[in-house]
């Protein structure tokens, strides 16, 4: 046996003589438990060890074999336990009924010992095979889940590592990546059932979207240090160079897509975010001057998250704003800078934005 012990067989019959005969036949090879009625059988199976097979008489008073079988199938502990009907009803109709309800086999009385033993062994071998397959499938499922977790973790670490390339070169970003990632997730959760957004935000998109968000400024690795690290406001010419980070970021991610063996969902989202998160709803943004629904949804969410975080963060040229003041500026940009529905989602989640900003706030030197 799989566990090194004998299989357990439960005999259910209202005739003590039949129980004695069957027990003597089976005990040399199997562990045998007996019940003289359907009710007692149900009490027996509620205690360990659970039977590996049930030999069940059909014609019993009070609760017949079919009723017992139905109760066994309804109990998760015995739902998969094979049952062989053993009965004096040897008609084709009776056998067909027994097999139709789901019995593993049907044996007519008087029992032929060799046939009974052969069928019992067959059903136990089948059960052992099913149990082995079930255990193997469970182990395989656990391994698949473990590997998926490992893959997700590797992906997350790789994204953050790439994003930190830009963050390290820009001393003002701090916890910006963590905050904006969570802002985007909050907005997506709020909009997931909105008619304009529900198709896009279906399935795993929300998690992929949040995972991609830290790459929004990856293009800053291509901006010269004298501009990126300038301790003050940029000149007009310097600002034009700074704006190229959006296009540089999308080109870098596009190259990664081409190098991938198959399409990678988070890279497609990251490319849209990097390229278009500085576009504005009214068309006055950059780098393409897109307007309205022409701006990818992922970039619209990132646009609001990025601006809110910039407003509440300290810069060398400004002090951080309070949450309420930043909220009012976002609200004033509804329909101009931002998608109106995204602003509404922000207002609905404003308290969560404040909690995120506080939890991942900057540590003053």
Domain residues of the chain, as ranges?
Answer: 8-140, 170-359
Residue 265 has pLDDT above 90, yes or no: no
Bigger pLDDT: 216 vs 89: 216
pLDDT of residue 241: 95
Residue 262 has pLDDT above 80, yes or no: no
Model confidence pLDDT, tens digit, residues 312-349: 998 777 889 999 999 999 999 999 999 999 999 999 99
Secondary structure in 3-state letters for the chain? CCCCCCCEEEEECCCHHHHHHHHHHHCCCCEEEEECCHHHHHHHCCCCCCCCEEEEECCCCCCCHHHHHHHHHHCCCCCCCCEEEEECCCCHHHHHHHHHCCCCEEEECCCCHHHHHHHHHHHHHHHHHHHHHHHHHHHHHHHHHHHHHHHHHHHHHHHHHHHHHHHHHCCCCCCHHHHHHHHHHHHHHHHCCCCCCCCCCCCCHHHHHHHHHHHHHHHHHHCCHHHHCCCCCCCHHHHHHHHCHHHHHHHHHHHHHHHCCCCCHHHHHHHHHHHHCCCCCCCCCCCCCCCHHHCCHHHHHHHHHHHHHHHHCCECCECCCCHHHHHHHHHHCECCCECHHHHHHHHHCHHHHHHHHHHCCCCCC
Residue 166 has pLDDT above 70, yes or no: no
Q: Which CATH superfamily is domain 170-359 in?
A: Hypothetical protein af1432 (1.10.3210.10)
pLDDT of residue 3: 44
Average pLDDT of span 200-213: 91
pLDDT of residue 2: 42
Given this structure, which CATH class describes domain 8-140? alpha beta
Average pLDDT of span 237-248: 94
**Global pTM?**
0.60
Percent of the chain surpassing pLDDT 70: 88
Residue 18 has pLDDT above 60, yes or no: yes
pLDDT of residue 131: 86
pLDDT of residue 130: 87
Bigger pLDDT: 172 vs 80: 80
Query: How would residue 233 be classed by pLDDT, with cut points 50, 70 and 90?
Result: confident
Query: How would residue 300 be classed by pLDDT, with cut points 50, 70 and 90?
Result: very high
Query: How would residue 95 be classed by pLDDT, with cut points 50, 70 and 90?
Result: low
Joined together, the tokens standing for residue 1 give: 């046996």
| CB-CB contact of 267 with 223 (8 Å) | no
pLDDT of residue 159: 63
pLDDT of residue 4: 46
Residue 1 has pLDDT above 50, yes or no: no
pLDDT of residue 345: 98
pLDDT of residue 365: 40
């Amino acid at each position: 046996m799989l566990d090194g012990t004998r299989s357990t067989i439960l005999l259910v019959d209202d005739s003590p003589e039949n129980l004695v005969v069957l027990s003597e036949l089976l005990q040399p090879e199997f562990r045998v438990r007996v019940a003289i009625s359907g009710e007692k059988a149900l009490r027996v199976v509620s205690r360990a060890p659970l039977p590996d097979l049930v030999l069940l008489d059909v014609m019993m008073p009070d609760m017949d074999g079919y009723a017992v079988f139905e109760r066994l199938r309804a109990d998760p502990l015995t739902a998969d336990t094979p049952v062989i009907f053993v009965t004096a009803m040897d008609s084709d109709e009776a056998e067909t009924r027994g097999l139709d309800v789901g019995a593993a086999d049907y044996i007519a009385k008087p029992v032929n010992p060799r046939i009974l033993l052969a069928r019992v062994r067959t059903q136990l071998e089948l059960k052992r095979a099913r149990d082995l397959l079930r255990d193997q499938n469970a182990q395989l499922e656990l391994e698949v889940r473990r590997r998926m977790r490992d893959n997700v973790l590797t992906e997350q670490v790789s994204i953050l590592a790439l994003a930190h390339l830009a963050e390290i070169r820009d001393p003002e970003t701090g916890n910006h990546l963590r905050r904006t990632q969570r802002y985007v997730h909050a907005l997506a959760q709020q909009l997931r059932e909105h008619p304009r957004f529900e198709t896009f935000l279906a399935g795993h998109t929300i998690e992929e979207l949040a995972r991609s968000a830290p790459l929004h400024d990856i293009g800053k690795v291509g901006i010269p240090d004298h501009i990126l690290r300038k301790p003050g406001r940029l000149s007009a010419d310097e600002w034009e160079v700074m704006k190229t980070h959006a296009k540089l970021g999308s080109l870098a991610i596009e190259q990664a897509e081409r190098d991938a063996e198959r399409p990678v969902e988070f890279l497609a989202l990251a490319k849209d975010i990097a390229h278009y998160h500085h576009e504005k709803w009214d068309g006055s943004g950059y780098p393409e001057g897109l307007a309205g629904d022409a701006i990818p949804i992922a970039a619209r969410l990132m646009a609001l998250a990025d601006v809110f975080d910039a407003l509440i963060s300290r810069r060398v040229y400004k002090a951080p704003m309070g949450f309420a003041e930043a909220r009012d500026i976002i609200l004033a940009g509804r329909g101009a800078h931002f998608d109106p529905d995204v602003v509404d989602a922000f207002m609905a989640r404003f308290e969560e934005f404040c909690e995120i900003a506080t939890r991942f706030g900057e540590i003053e030197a």
